[in-house]
Amino acid sequence: MKKVTDERIRTEYSSAFKRKVVQEIEEGKLSVEEANRRYGIKGHSTISKWLKAMGNNHKIGKVVRIETEKEYGIMRELDCE
């Protein structure tokens, strides 16, 4: 659905459409850029927001650090200095 606000057209996407796009990306059928082009989604961060809100792979772009207890203790000591 398109709405005109202050000379700009704002496009609203249905939840079903958003889920479809997110699913296609998570299944590896499309990249974010390919989905933008295929579906004419203009906002550069629109799909990223959908992935964060609805996607199963919510750790995209995040660093997960795994460390031993000894490493954690050393890091705490260094932080206190």
pLDDT digits (tens, 9 = 90+) for 13-32: 999 999 999 999 998 999 99
| pLDDT above 70: percentage of residues in the chain | 85
62 pLDDT above the threshold of 70: no
- Are the beta carbons of 9 and 3 closer than 8 angstroms? yes
Give me the domain span that covers residue 26: 2-80
pLDDT of residue 73: 87
Question: What does the mean pLDDT of the chain come to?
Answer: 85
Count the residues in the chain.
81
Residue 49 pLDDT class (50, 70, 90 cuts): very high
Domain count, the chain: 1
Helix, coil or strand: residue 8: strand
pTM: 0.62
